[in-house]
Amino acid sequence: MKTTKLIFLSLGLLAMQPSQAQQKGIINNADSPYVTLKSINMGDCQWTSGFWADKFKKAEEVMVPNMGTLLKGDIGHGLNNFKIAAGLKEGKHQGFPWHDGDFYKWMEASTYIYAHNKDPKILKELDDIIDIIGKAQEKDGYLQTKIQIDPKVDRYENRRFHEMYNSGHLFTSACIHYRVTGQTNFLDIAKKHADLLYSVFMPENKHYGRFGFNQTQIIGLVELYRTTKDHRYLQLAEKFINNRGKYKVEDDETTLGYPIGDMVQERTPLRESTEAVGHAVLALYYYAGAADVAAETGEKALIEALDRLWDNVTQKKMYVTGAVGQAHYGRSTSKDKIEEGFIDEYMMPNMTAYNETCANVCNSMFSYRMMGLKGESKYADVMELVLFNSALSGISIEGKDYFYSNPLRMLNNSRDYTKHNTELPVRQSYLECFCCPPNLVRTIAQLSGWAYSLSPKGVSVNLYGGNTLNTHLLDGSKLKLTQETQYPWDGAVKLTVDECKEAPFEMMLRIPEWAKGAKVTVNGKDIGVVVEPGHYAKVDRFWKKGDVVSVNLPMPVMLIEGNSRIEEVRNQVAIKRGPIVYCLESTDLPKDVSILDAYLPGSEQLDVKFQPEFLGGVSTISGNIMLRKDEVQGMYQSISKPEWQKVKTSFVPYFAWSNRGQSEMTVWLPIMWDKK
């Protein structure tokens, strides 16, 4: 009898081991019952060479330290606000009310760096900061420096104070810190605060039911549930979703702060939604949080709604760069006033495109979660499109300057940019609204954790880049891979098996939608794998040490045209190669020539050249363009035959624009097709 018990106990421990081995993912979905592709542990994948290795090194050596200097000093105010709230410093709150959340995002980025380099100075700095935050927290768990220092309103009275936004980033950062360090000092602060939120928001209350402007608390609460196994946090996260759209939209915006209705996605319950509306960052944090809840509950109606919304975003409201949030100001289809958000389908202005960096990053976060839920590569395609283009454009090659908005066309002297302080023609060393820089930098710092996922039968390769993978499959077996590639500048990818189990397992290789004619071989041989763009190619076999999988993704230069309903890009094309969208800068035109005078001959050959010393190492595309020599005077004029000049120029990756001084820029160019 004792022997039988021991056998069952041993079997039980073995069954638990795979899950326990994967509890340190960026998203800890190891025990999430409705996730198809699960996270690898942080640190299991290490970038070794190439594009993302260079970006991670830049994050480690420049981006995160420089941002820390800003936020811990008198420029960014973040740490000062916590010191004042803790009684350790005299002074007034400075910065926007959501600045606490931005500081937590920087802490999260710093923790990802520590997960890779184990630098004790980083851990010591974080511990010192956590001690200050703990002193700032009130006895009942409340933590919001703006209201604590300058209590002009009661707690949770007005949306403009972004208490939920700060709470969500606190929870997420604390969970990451615990998983990486094993310490509970930050997690204890987060739990105490979450317990307060539960006591305030779980009771039925009309006022609190509609509360919350930027809903990162949903993501944070689910992650806190996954970390602590306290089911109350999941219940509260789901309640925040259930309450949206439950109450009649009738309050004046001055009552709750900020515009109401579609601006904050509260006119329609999420499960009934068919269109992405309102502030793009709010919407996509909301959808990402709902995807996290669905990963735990498996609710069909919620997942179906998220699929509809993802389709609406990516098929009708997303730019060719993966950017979202078309307008700074506008109206929803229900005529509600919105800011920084989604407007009508196919309405895609270029020069006034808002495309907040945070919204673009959140688009990739939403797609990453949908990829996990559904196990489909189309979500990873969008995730990658954003990362290489509209997200990365938010930071300079040097890693110290930032864009808040990311238009697809910029003209010099076209308007007074000082009146649009978030839509400037050059990146800034500090943005008063500092939400975007740490959001992007924490994403760059964590990206190796997105590169692979654990599938039911093995492993999926989601992102390509030089790296090593040292992980365990879901059955607990060891897997080591080495990936070698110059992606995204070259489509050749080599994956070598360094260690694996003796039993067969499946390797899922993402074939991007643009990769027509892609091929997959094993040890140099075609093994009959189905290779379809926009899907994972699945190789299921007995593997052995030394096996080499080769993925060849053709990368011709492509001319992209938009749907005919997008008025602003009619008879224009964008240039794309692989996952990279290109642009034309006035820097690469003759002096005093505007980008508006440039036309692309459709029959001209476009050549590709990798330049390792240019803009951090990029492939440029060169070819002839036609410059319109005559100029339209006034608003309109009659035309006979335009005068043209042929000029050779270069196109640079969109993410790298505005790194050579102020310039004009355009992604879309009018096309001149050959009469034939």
For residue 632, give the nearest of 624, 642, 623 by alpha carbon.
Answer: 642
Residue 9: its pLDDT value, please?
A: 33
pTM of the predicted model as reported, rounded to 2 decimal places: 0.95
Contact 493, 553 (CB under 8 A): yes
d(CA 268, CA 282): 15
Per-domain residue ranges of the chain: 30-449, 451-552, 557-672
Beta strands 598-601 and 618-628 are antiparallel
Residue numbers in the chain where pLDDT is lower than 70:
1-21, 251-257, 419-420, 675-676
Query: Residue 478, Cβ neighbours under 10 Å: how many?
Result: 13
Residue 153: its pLDDT value, please?
A: 78
For residue 284, give the nearest of 238, 327, 342 by alpha carbon.
Answer: 342
For residue 197, give the nearest of 143, 125, 124 by alpha carbon.
Answer: 143
d(CA 676, CA 598): 22
Expressed in percent and rounded to 5, the helix, strand and coil fractions of the chain are 40, 20, 40
d(CA 400, CA 631): 39
Contact 21, 472 (CB under 8 A): yes
Contact 51, 465 (CB under 8 A): yes
- Model pLDDT for residues 510-548, shown as the tens digit of each residue: 999 999 999 999 999 999 999 999 999 999 999 999 999
Contact 319, 343 (CB under 8 A): no
Tokens for 654? 């969109």
Residue 21: its pLDDT value, please?
A: 45
Residue 100: its pLDDT value, please?
A: 97
Residue 676: its pLDDT value, please?
A: 53
Contact 439, 216 (CB under 8 A): no
Q: Which fold has domain 451-552?
A: Maltose phosphorylase, domain 3 (2.60.420)
CATH of domain 30-449: 1.50.10.20
Report CA 268 to chain centroid distance, whole Å: 25
d(CA 529, CA 541): 11
Phi, psi of 327 (to 5 degrees): -135, 145
d(CA 483, CA 296): 32
DSSP assigned state of 525: B
Residue 260: its pLDDT value, please?
A: 85
Residue 257: its pLDDT value, please?
A: 65
Alpha-carbon radius of gyration of the chain: 25
Beta strands 580-585 and 452-455 are unpaired
d(CA 624, CA 597): 13
Tokens for 377? 């590569």
Residue 251: its pLDDT value, please?
A: 67
d(CA 201, CA 242): 12
Instruction: Calculate ∠ Cα 605-610-615, nearest 5°.
Output: 115
DSSP assigned state of 40: P
Contact 174, 129 (CB under 8 A): no
d(CA 121, CA 138): 28
Residue 16: its pLDDT value, please?
A: 34
Distances (CA, A) of 433 to 64, 96, 97, 165, 402: 18, 7, 10, 14, 11
Alpha helices by DSSP H, listed for 137-271, are 145-149, 163-181, 185-201, 206-209, 216-228, 231-243, 253-256
Query: Residue 43, Cβ neighbours under 10 Å: how many?
Result: 18
Task: Mark 212-234 as b/e (b = at least 16 C-beta within 10 Å).
Answer: bbbbbbbbbbbbbbbbbebebbb
Residue 20: its pLDDT value, please?
A: 42
d(CA 314, CA 186): 36
